[in-house]
Structure 1
Amino acid sequence: VHPDRVPASALTPLLRRGDKPGFVVVDMPDVDDFAPAGVELPDSALYVVTGLDRGDRMANWSPEEALPALAGEGRTPLVLGEGIHWVLQQPAALERNHCFMTIGSRLRKANGTLDARTPAIWISNGTGRDGRERRDAPKVGWCWWGNRHTWLGFASGTGRGECNHR
């Protein structure tokens, strides 16, 4: 479903890992303001992303490094809503120590510049503000654009197109 139709804040609690529902980190109250940046989405309310890949080979890269590499491979980064839908449809796409950023979504500030955060989906360790009760729950959070994480790849696809549903 097109990310403009159902916001990330509404989709995230539908994620499940065991009996744990997904959640958005408390310091990302603006999660629904992250929008496609440099990514063309189909106009259709329903579409399909082909050639999905979690981007494990790029673990320990920064988003700043990964974006041009993906483009050079003819791949398109997923936006946050696409990443959430992927995990909803294929929960195995999210596994501990092999999670992903969705760098096709960025937040544009009032002055026109891009916020330094980029959305990501991973599994909570149940520490800090997450709370112990959320250990092993799917988590939508953010990482800094210039930072590297050994356990986060960069979700991407080979294309987007109309969904032939009946």
Structure 2
Amino acid sequence: MPASSASPAAVATSPPVPATALPPLPDQAERLVALGVAATAGLPDAAVRAAAHDLAASAPPGALLVVDPALAPPSVLAPHLRLPDRDGEKEGFVVVDMADVDRFAPLDGLTVPDGALYVVTDVDRGDDLASWSPDEALPEITRRGRTPLTLAEGIHWALQAPQVVERNHCYMTIGSRLRRADGRLDARTPAIWISNGTGRDGRERRGAPKVGWCWAGNRHTWLGFASAAGRVGLPA
């Protein structure tokens, strides 16, 4: 059979898929079912699939499906995170000094739709804000007309697109903060990155996806600030 005469430049190629790309909402629903997140949240598989179908009718392409954290809190979601590693996939975890992770709630003024499931639109890892502190990044995100991701939303993103958690390119989720008994915000801001297996993480967790925190006034070259254009709930 003769070889093709087409030059390499003439051969059509597909553009590379961005690391932050998300599958269609029905596929995301199937992943939540397969991971056991739906069952953990007490949601019938059919209900998750139906919600994804209904949300797909009103949400723009590339939206992220999220389960209400009251049903599937971060402490429950984190162990479902996985990243490839030369020693095999490593299970996600929450750092030991964040036992109160599920008490981190949306910032005042950040509205999450009612209902068991909703979507977040146009998610972005915020790489351009690396080396900013959370205190500096929040007003900039707001100035851009965007909203910071909550921790639960950030974990859902990594569940659906594990490649978004990339060494030296991870992200904070400053839409979630803990309010102390005195009414002031706790100085910790949650983030998702990759463990180096040092300290209390343990050597066996090197390469594992990690839910941790950073101080609100500190800067990190390898942490962006995840944000979205908005949130869409199920029709009433």
* TM-score normalised by L of structure 1: 0.96
| Equivalent residue number for residue 44 of structure 1 | 115
| Equivalent residue number for residue 79 of structure 1 | 150
Q: Could you tell me which of 93, 102, 114 is aligned with 1:32?
A: 102
| Equivalent residue number for residue 105 of structure 1 | 176
Counterpart residue identity of residue 87, structure 1: A
Is the counterpart of residue 17 in structure 1 residue 83 in structure 2? Answer: yes
- Separation in structure 2 between the aligned mates of residue 150 and residue 85 of structure 1, nearest angstrom: 23
Greater mean alpha carbon deviation, residues 107-116 or residues 38-47: 38-47
Q: How many residues align?
A: 164
Q: CA deviation at 1:163?
A: 5.1
Q: Which has the higher strand share?
A: 1
Q: Which has the higher helix share?
A: 2
The SS at the match of 1:92 is helix
Q: CA deviation at 1:92?
A: 1.1
- Separation in structure 1 between the aligned mates of residue 115 and residue 180 of structure 2, nearest angstrom: 27
- Separation in structure 1 between the aligned mates of residue 170 and residue 69 of structure 2, nearest angstrom: 20
Q: CA deviation at 1:119?
A: 0.3
RMSD: 1.0
Q: Could you tell me which of 126, 137, 153 is aligned with 2:224?
A: 153
| Equivalent residue number for residue 206 of structure 2 | 135
Q: List 4+ stretches of structure 1 deviating above 2 A.
A: none
Structure with larger Rg: 2
> Structure 1: where are the runs of 5+ without partners?
none
Higher RCO, Cα 8 Å, sep 6+: 1
Q: CA deviation at 1:93?
A: 1.1
- Separation in structure 2 between the aligned mates of residue 144 and residue 67 of structure 1, nearest angstrom: 14
> Structure 2: where are the runs of 5+ without partners?
1-66
- Separation in structure 2 between the aligned mates of residue 116 and residue 10 of structure 1, nearest angstrom: 23
Counterpart residue identity of residue 169, structure 2: H
